[in-house]
Structures are given as structure tokens and as C-alpha cells.
């Protein structure tokens, strides 16, 4: 087992990574139960994994009632938040109990937020089942639901007690979901590790083919990178953690334009957003054009969108910038952007002229 600590003082926890860990989760989690039930919240796509988890907990003497929610981004809603909190109260959950989030980023975000507000905060465990959740959303304590105004605008920082990652669950993941998660893997190379991006270029095919070593390296390296950044800036107050938002400002605008639907998965939007961030940086003379081209070429090579056309977005620049104005990172009238001076040289820029962004996006329209 690989154990990666997330060092946050009293809120520190471990991320444990091991093939087959889902079937052994009971022995790992039993000490946290203190003889109490550990409710599981999951979605309709994960019945087989849920059965494995329930059996593992039962073998360790832990009962685990299950709430199954609809799969998809629309589950990150006020209505489902209410259903989750009502159900947990019906189960008699107390503040010292642990609730298990078994699923991708949607389930992790929703359950994390629900437990942050239930009885003013109770414990939860992340068991991520998608590549995106394993390398990104399950680590770091950002929890949220979506609203009509935009993505992740209602939420809280709430760290899990432990994160259990079983790379073998990715074997059942549809290729589209795997590709969407891969966008977040490549992101860690583009942020501040050009060597890792080069590894991605050389090993992406093996990862998608199911090579255990490639998947283990991608997950472990990504989690360690995120743990380091989160430990340095847990609540995104110094700007360090903001680097993790590379591609997200453009990406969230694309998601908003496509109605936060399956038309464009979150990871697909992030991929297009990263390509746009590098292309915009190149247009502004900040980044070598060949670096932007390399990013776009790699994303395209693995089947991810590398811009507006590939993402199926035809809106004009003003419309997309209008979506950006609802971004939770807005500071007064300023929207910080993650731009790049080159591969592995991302930085936060708070002086970007949104009229230039709109004009740039108009040049990128299909």
C-alpha cells in the first residue's frame, strides 16, 4: 500500500492507494466506526462496487446502510443535498460518526458538503471510483453543490478522515470517463512539472490500456502533488492552491454554456480550458506558441477536446465571459486567471482584461 499524508495539522489525514483496497476497506475503516454504523452514499452506476464495500464492512463487523442517488452532475443540487441530509438524520448519524462517499466527484462533493453542515459538521470518508476523483476531487477538502448561477458556488472546505483509492475500480470505468479524469493528471505536469507532462505524453496510451504500473504512477504522482499544494495553502488564501484551477475558469464557462450536462464532462471542459489557457497565453506573448501547440496536440491525441470546436461550444466570447463573471474566484471586479509562461510554468494573473479574453474566444469559435 502507498500512503500519502495530507499534512494539515489537526485536520491531517492519509490517502491510501492499493489495488484491491475496496475489498479490504472494512479492515481499514473498522477502527473509525467505534461499533457504529457507517452509512454509504453512492450512485446508480456503482452497485457492484457498493456490494463489495458493504460485504467488506460486514466482514469487519460494521453495518452500512446505503443511499443510492442518480448518477450525473445534476445530482450536485439543493434537492439532493436535502435528501442526503434528511436520510442521514433518519439514520441517527451523530457528529463523531463517519459517512462514506463511494463514487466520483459528484458524490464526493455532495457528501462532503452534506457532512460539513450536518449537525455543524460530522466525519466522512472518500472512496473515489473515477480517475478524476482519485487524482483530484477526493483530496483537499473542497466540497460543493451547483446552483443556477454556476458550478460549485455553494460549498465549504471540509477535509475527509481518510481517502481510500483502489486503482482496480478503474477497470469498470467507461473510456470517456477515464479520459475526462486524465485531464486532471496532465494538469499536474502543466502546472509546475514539465517532466511529468513529458511522462504523460510517453505513457498515456499504457494508462488507457489498463497498465497497472502506469496507472499507479499517474495516481500516486498526482495525489502527492495535490497533497503538497493543499498543505501549503489549504483554503486558497496565498495563491498557491489556485494553481490547481488551471483550465477551470475557461472550463466552467464551457460547462455553463452546455448546461452542466453530459454534453461536456467536467474533465473534458478542463482539458479544453487548459488548451485555451495556453493558447491565450501564447497570443498574449507570455508562452511559446510551440508549448501551446504541444498541449493541444497531446489532449487531442488522447481523445480530449483541445478548444471550443472540439468541446461543441459555438457561443461568442462575450457570452462565455458572462459565464465567467459568476465564477467563485471573482475578487471585486477582477477575475484571476491561470496563465502560463511555458510547460510547467503556470502562474496566477489578476490583471487580465476580460475584453481581450472575449476577443480571443471569438477567434477560437468553430
Active-site residue identified among 73, 184, 255, 257: 184
Mark whether 245 is an active-site residue.
yes
**Which of these, 202, 168, 200, 166, lies nearest to 183 by C-alpha position?**
200
Active-site residue identified among 49, 158, 215, 248: 248
**Which of these, 277, 281, 224, 278, lies nearest to 254 by C-alpha position?**
277
Mark whether 226 is an active-site residue.
yes
Mark whether 76 is an active-site residue.
no
Mark whether 241 is an active-site residue.
yes
User: Quick check: 28 and 164 in contact, CB under 8 A?
Assistant: yes
| Phi/psi at 330 (5° precision) | -55, 135
DSSP three-state, residue 257: helix
User: Quick check: 30 and 62 in contact, CB under 8 A?
Assistant: yes
Mark whether 266 is an active-site residue.
yes
User: Quick check: 218 and 241 in contact, CB under 8 A?
Assistant: no
Active-site residue identified among 98, 142, 215, 323: 142
Active-site residue identified among 151, 226, 323, 329: 226
Active-site residue identified among 45, 123, 146, 245: 245
Active-site residue identified among 98, 151, 215, 266: 266
User: Quick check: 312 and 263 in contact, CB under 8 A?
Assistant: yes
Mark whether 236 is an active-site residue.
yes
Active-site residue identified among 158, 187, 215, 241: 241
Q: Which residues of 290-313 are buried (b: 16+ CB within 10 A; e: fewer)?
A: ebbebbbebbeebbbbbbbebbeb
Helices marked H in 24-77: 25-33, 47-59
Active-site residue identified among 236, 255, 257, 268: 236
Active-site residue identified among 252, 298, 323, 329: 252
List residues with catalytic annotation.
Answer: 120, 142, 184, 226, 236, 241, 245, 248, 252, 266
Amino acid at each position: 500500500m502507498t500512503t500519502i499524508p495530507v499534512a494539515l495539522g489537526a485536520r491531517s489525514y492519509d490517502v491510501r492507494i492499493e489495488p484491491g483496497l475496496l475489498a479490504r476497506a472494512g479492515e481499514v475503516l473498522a477502527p473509525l466506526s467505534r461499533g457504529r454504523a457507517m452509512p454509504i452514499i453512492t450512485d446508480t452506476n456503482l452497485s457492484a462496487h457498493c456490494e463489495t464495500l458493504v460485504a467488506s464492512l460486514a466482514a469487519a463487523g460494521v453495518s452500512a446502510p446505503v443511499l443510492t442517488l442518480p448518477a450525473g452532475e445534476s445530482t450536485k443540487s439543493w434537492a439532493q443535498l436535502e435528501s442526503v441530509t434528511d436520510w442521514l438524520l433518519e439514520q441517527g448519524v451523530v457528529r463523531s460518526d463517519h459517512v462514506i462517499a463511494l463514487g466520483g466527484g459528484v458524490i464526493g462533493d455532495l457528501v462532503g458538503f452534506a457532512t460539513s453542515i450536518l449537525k455543524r459538521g460530522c466525519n466522512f470518508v472518500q472512496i473515489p471510483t473515477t480517475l478524476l476523483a482519485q487524482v483530484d476531487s477526493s483530496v483537499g477538502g473542497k466540497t460543493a453543490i451547483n446552483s443556477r448561477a454556476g458550478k460549485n458556488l455553494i460549498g465549504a472546505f471540509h477535509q475527509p478522515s481518510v481517502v481510500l483509492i483502489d486503482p482496480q475500480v478503474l477497470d469498470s470505468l467507461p473510456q470517456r470517463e477515464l479520459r475526462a479524469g486524465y485531464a486532471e493528471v496532465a494538469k499536474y505536469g502543466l502546472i509546475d512539472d514539465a517532466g511529468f507532462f513529458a511522462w504523460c505524453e510517453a505513457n498515456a496510451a499504457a494508462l488507457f490500456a489498463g497498465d497497472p504500473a502506469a496507472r499507479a504512477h499517474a495516481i500516486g504522482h498526482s495525489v502527492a502533488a495535490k497533497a503538497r499544494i493543499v498543505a501549503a495553502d489549504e483554503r486558497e488564501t496565498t495563491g498557491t492552491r489556485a494553481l490547481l484551477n488551471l483550465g477551470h475558469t475557461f472550463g466552467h464557462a464551457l460547462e455553463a454554456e452546455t448546461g452542466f450536462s453530459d454534453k461536456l464532462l467536467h474533465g473534458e471542459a478542463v482539458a479544453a480550458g487548459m488548451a485555451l489557457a495556453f493558447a491565450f497565453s501564447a497570443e498574449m506573448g507570455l508562452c511559446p506558441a510551440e508549448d501551446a501547440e504541444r498541449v493541444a496536440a497531446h489532449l487531442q491525441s488522447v481523445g480530449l477536446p483541445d478548444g471550443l470546436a472540439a468541446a461543441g461550444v459555438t457561443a461568442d466570447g462575450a457570452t462565455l465571459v458572462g459565464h465567467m463573471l459568476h465564477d467563485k474566484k471573482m475578487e471585486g471586479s477582477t477575475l484571476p486567471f491561470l496563465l502560463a509562461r511555458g510547460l510547467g510554468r503556470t502562474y496566477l494573473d489578476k490583471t487580465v482584461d476580460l475584453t481581450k479574453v472575449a476577443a480571443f474566444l471569438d477567434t477560437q469559435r468553430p
